[in-house]
Chain A
């Protein structure tokens, strides 16, 4: 099967139906031991220092892994993707655009997906067949999520990783299906590991994957990973078809729609506070203004840049924030 690179989640069912092996370049970049090398490749080719590490990492991963075809999300995701795709196109890489329409109407979403299907010459029937098959995997990812916030058996990191990888099924659908099934069974057999402070993580997945384990040192646990959960499409089995599924997807559309789902999860999971991660030089940092206005539980905004480990200052900020949250949770616990 031919590989095709992704810059973020796209209707993967279409690509699988067309016989491709989708590869999420973000995952290749961030999980590599040589992740800094990917950034270097991009900077040597002229990407500015003041551009986010993810864009440069995707570029490096694309070049280094001989990806010859790529789907770029030109609307609804990162505003830098447009230029990234143009640069890759000029290097001879075949590029396919995809748009999450800002209008966020069902008609417009359907129109974009139909265009996408036409581009890869696949039928709606075939796409639906694939969708039903992979919905089983999505169900299992949902199960893992429940094992985090209801049973407290899965760690925050597992919740992050196993939902995140649904974006491309780790490059091998069948294998990932088995891996996830085994993981869920293993987690079920564990004893619960309850923590005092229930945290939510919102924003793009972090460069600094150690954040999940770090907070557990302070009697805290991430039991909600917003975007990772969206990547796994927890509401897919309720969607009538592919159009509905990608309409009911919060991350790339307008912020109020996204906040609605976050608020629902805050209530459902009884979250004490939220950590909002933003990437240095990303326009999404400004979304913090709206998020802090509309969400009424405490929010700490942290920023990551190139390093894949939390720096000392961010650790100190997290520690100070969690320390005071702990005081409040003790008080509420005693009331």
Chain B
């Protein structure tokens, strides 16, 4: 059976096609591009499956940021917590873990026990603990995200709660002549500090890290202070879409 999963994220739309529980196609499209080039407007937004050129699709499941705003023909919408939990269960083979998903604007912490969600926490008013913060700070430092994520030690102190004020704070540190290594580590560590209060209620040994921020080496390293084992998945950014496919295949 060929199952299509679409995760409509805030920064990108993730598309995965699975056949018999194997990923056979994956694609990331910028949110703007997706709406502009892959959707039709017929009073409401409709996904143009032909333009995606996926061939036969037996079942289609969607989730994510825009799941209720978009009409996906023959798609079944599932909530994003469930999609990410199923994605993590499929990608790790585990049934007891803490899932930390850090996307462009959303952070989700979910406790999974015996394969079911038993607790969850989401960021609400503020997205300064998310991927977009790292992107903005990397822009200020004129480095790419990959380079930014390599710096771990001796982080410069960044204390602003607001991510916009953090940029000014960072500029101040640049002006003080602090070296790049400490500046980058400071950015990474400040994101970790924002995540920490959300994690305090989620005790456990295994933490599965997903979302784009899972590529950040420094965050992973800092999280080893709190969890015995940090588990990375093969496709952290496609986890929600994979979860959709898994759900579609299994249920």
- 29 cross-chain CB contacts under 8 A: A292-B113, A297-B114, A298-B114, A298-B115, A298-B116, A298-B118, A299-B118, A300-B118, A301-B118, A317-B118, A317-B119, A317-B120, A320-B79, A320-B82, A320-B110, A320-B117, A320-B120, A321-B116, A321-B117, A323-B82, A323-B117, A324-B85, A324-B116, A324-B117, A327-B247, A327-B250, A327-B251, A328-B116, A330-B251
Q: Count residues of B near A (Cβ-Cβ below 8 Å).
A: 16
With CB as the reference atom, state the residue of chain A lying closest to B251.
A327
CB distance from B231 to the nearest CB of A (A): 20
Residues in B neighbouring A331, C-beta threshold 8 A: 250-251
CB-defined interface of B84-120 with A at 8 Å, one 1/0 digit per residue?
0100000000000000000000000010011111111
B81 on the A face (CB < 8 A): yes
Which of the residues B79, B110, B118, B119 comes within 8 Å of A323, measured between beta carbons? Answer: B79
Interface residues of A in 288-335 (CB under 8 A from B): 292, 297-301, 316-317, 320-321, 323-325, 327-328, 330-331
| A-B contacts at CB below 8 angstroms, number | 45
Residues in A neighbouring B116, C-beta threshold 8 A: 273, 298, 300, 321, 324-325, 328
Residues in A neighbouring B114, C-beta threshold 8 A: 297-299
CA distance A320 to B121 in the complex (A): 11
CB distance from B113 to the nearest CB of A (A): 7
CB distance from A280 to the nearest CB of B (A): 13
Q: Which 4 A-B pairs have the closest CB atoms?
A: A320-B117, A298-B114, A327-B251, A298-B116
Residues in B neighbouring A320, C-beta threshold 8 A: 79, 81-82, 110, 117, 120
CB distance from B124 to the nearest CB of A (A): 11
With CB as the reference atom, state the residue of chain B lying closest to A331.
B251
Residues in B neighbouring A321, C-beta threshold 8 A: 116-118
Query: Chain A contact residues: over half helix, strand or loop, or mixed?
Result: helix
Q: Count residues of A near B (Cβ-Cβ below 8 Å).
A: 18
CB-defined interface of A261-304 with B at 8 Å, one 1/0 digit per residue?
00000000000010000000000000000001000011111000
CB distance from B94 to the nearest CB of A (A): 15
CA distance A150 to B67 in the complex (A): 40
CA distance A301 to B113 in the complex (A): 11
Interface residues of A in 145-191 (CB under 8 A from B): none
Residues in A neighbouring B85, C-beta threshold 8 A: 324
CA distance A299 to B117 in the complex (A): 10
Q: Is the beta-carbon distance between A298 and B113 smaller than 8 angstroms?
A: yes
CB distance from B25 to the nearest CB of A (A): 24
CA distance A126 to B120 in the complex (A): 55
CB-defined interface of B159-187 with A at 8 Å, one 1/0 digit per residue?
00000000000000000000000000000
CA distance A273 to B114 in the complex (A): 11
With CB as the reference atom, state the residue of chain A lying closest to B89.
A324
CA distance A323 to B77 in the complex (A): 13
Residues in A neighbouring B79, C-beta threshold 8 A: 320, 323
Residues in B neighbouring A299, C-beta threshold 8 A: 113-114, 118
